[in-house]
Structure 1
Amino acid sequence: MRLGQPPQQQYMQPLPTVPPLPPAPRGRRFGDIPIRAVYLVGAILGTVLAVLLVFVVFRGDVPTNQQSNEQIVRVAPVPSVSATPTVSASPTPTETPIVLPPVPDAKKYATLSGTASTVSGTITDKNSGISYPRLASPWKAKSFPPFSIAQRIGKVAVPHTVIASAMYPGESPEKKPSSNADYREIATQAARWTIRTQYPEGAKLDEWTASQKIPVGKGWTLGYKVTYTVGGKEQEAQAMVTVIEVGKTKPAMLMASIPETNKERWRDLNTLVQQVRPL
């Protein structure tokens, strides 16, 4: 004990050091996530998206061995001439031979009954190389393959009420026709073709109503009467066909047929015969 110091200070000891408290834990942030974990999650998401995309793209495909729910409506073919018509004196094995009466060398086209339609203009068929009258209502210009141009009355049904032009639908002659007899023979084959394509099965050409040279140029016109049966009732039609030289081996053809249901228009055949021309 030293002299001069208070007694309490002589016996005091220093306090022990207390370690600092650890810092409070912080919330985990995106930057603290390991980069490999990020890549793994991205790869999983990419795979899932790819699978979903494939499903969406190909879900409309219907395998060939399954039937789709879609209902396919089949359109009945329009009764018309063949898309690739041919004219032949010998029918195919499935066709009944069409027997024609002898063609007169010359017979003037008589004036038919009925009232002639108004001529509203001229039809110029550049594909075939001919022109002929455009008739007013009830005639309407409509598509009628394989003809280039057609005028029709009423619905498309056999027997047809039609005026139409095209190149002669048979095979080209071996050489270009030159005489009236040549063109008369081709016109005869064209008339046979119309019996097969424009009328009900079993139709017959009963009578030639005309056999004459065309007014201008080279060619021949035949007029004829056709009988056929519809609904058990025999009916008749008046028809004509003209073949015209147009500078080619194969001639152009104008044909017209008017059944008795439109017999008030039979006089229109006279108009066509008188005014058809090569271009």
Structure 2
Amino acid sequence: MTAAGGPGRGPVPRRRLGDVPMKVVYLLGAIAATVLAVVLVFTVFSGDVPARHAAEEQFAGVAPVPTVTATPTPSASPTPTQAPIVLPPVPASKTYATFPGTASVVVGLVNDERTGISYPKLAAPWQAVKSPSPFSAAQQVGKAVVPHTQIASAMLPGDAPKKKPVSDADYRAIAAQAVRWTMRTQFPKGATLAWTASQRLPVGKGWTLGYKVTYTSGGKKRQAQAMVTVVEVGKTKPAMLMANMLDTDKARWPDLNTLVQRVRPL
């Protein structure tokens, strides 16, 4: 039997390795070497690839941190700065003068438990304020605008003194701080004052300062009479009673004398 080689053909001779041309051998050898080199590279450096990819995925899409420049970008809502309120020297002693006229009728007491002081509750046209924030208790005449005629009590605004005041001079200085606060918050910008009183409390420890405020409202120069009393209530921070009486409510000015004479610690 002959090997199948097609009709009329003899048997197909088998090729041996020696019969393969050298050009083919070299080509096969080069391919094998290239494949081997690639395998070795991936084998040796395979441990680096996942870590590098993980790092690239972790920071992908993150914007670079902007360089800080010497000139800061201004805020969209800048914090306004206020010029300090400068007060004239506080007199060491000055008796509160009696205002002419008839004072309002005292119909009771405001016992302010939050501050620890008591003072007169006055009849109409005075009315108690239902939501007196930032004060703990308040009475007023007319509408609550700045400025307006009012009586109000609260703890001393701001931080407590570093140590509890003990002398008249200590309380006088603290009362001046309270007056500075009322000038900044209760009267228009540019208002000035002149002292009308500087005296001890009739009962307990503390100090009262009286002052006349001159300010401009609606293009007109106006005046108000005001007072601040700070009262020792067993704490480092004293309580505060303040009152402003506008010249449009001049008939209420004698009520300042009532408050000064009858404010007490509870």
Structure 1 partner of 2:154: 166
Counterpart of 1:136 in structure 2: which amino acid? A
- Cα distance in 2 for partners of 1:199, 1:149 equals 19
Give the Cα separation in 1 of the matches to 2:202 and 2:96.
12
Partner amino acid, structure 2, of 1:228? Y
- Residue 179 of structure 1 corresponds to 167
Note the 1:79-158 alignment, pairs <5 A: 94-142=81-129, 143-158=131-146
Determine the C-alpha separation between the residues in 1 that align with 2:101 and 2:87: 27
Deviation digits for residues 73-129 of structure 1 (CA, Å, limit 9, x no counterpart): xxxxxxxxxxxxxxxxxxx96213211111010000000133200000011000000
| Residue of structure 1 aligned with 2:250, choices 263, 267, 270 | 263
The equivalent residue for 2:204 is: 217
**Which AA in structure 1 matches 2:175?**
A
Give 5+ residue unaligned stretches, structure 2.
Answer: 1-78
In the TM superposition, structure 1's runs of 4+ consecutive aligned residues that sit over 4 Å from their partners are none
Report sequence identity in percent. Answer: 70
Instruction: Report what 1:232 is aligned to.
Output: 219
What are the superposed Cα offsets for residues 214-238 of structure 1, whole Å, 9 maximum, x if unpaired? 0111000000000000111100000
Superposition deviation, residue 160 in structure 1: 1.7
Amino acid corresponding to residue 250 of structure 2 in structure 1: K
Instruction: Decide whether aligned partners of structure 1 residues 218 and 264 sit closer, same or farther in structure 2, where only a CA change above 3 A counts.
Output: same
Structure 2 residue 182 is the aligned partner of structure 1 residue 194: yes
Is the Cα contact below 8 Å between 1:115 and 1:266 reproduced in 2?
no
Aligned residues between the structures? 187
Match of 2:153, SS? strand
For the 8 Å contact 1:184–1:220, the answer to whether it is kept is yes
Give the Cα–Cα distance (whole angstroms) in 2 for the partners of residues 185 and 258 of structure 1: 23
CA distance in 2, matches of 1:176, 1:186: 11
Deviations 1:3-35 (A, max 9, x none): xxxxxxxxxxxxxxxxxxxxxxxxxxxxxxxxx
Q: What letter matches 1:127 in structure 2?
A: R
Name whichever structure is richer in helix by fraction: 2
**1:188 deviation in Å?**
0.3
The Cα shift of 1:200 comes to: 1.2
Q: Which letter does structure 2 place at the counterpart of 1:155?
A: K
Letter in 2 for 1:260: D
Unpaired runs of 5+ in structure 1?
A: 1-91
- Which TM-score applies when normalising by structure 2? 0.69
Q: Aligned with 1:138: secondary structure?
A: coil
> TM-score by structure 1 length?
0.66
- Computed over aligned residues only, the root mean square deviation of the Cα atoms, in angstroms, reads 1.1
Aligned 8 A contact 1:114 1:263 in 2: no
SS in 1 for 2:243: strand
Q: Deviation at 1:261?
A: 0.7
Residue identity matched to 1:129: G
Equivalent residue letter for 2:153: S
CA distance in 1, matches of 2:217, 2:106: 31
Distance 1:130 1:278 in 2: 4
SS of match in other structure, 2:189 = coil
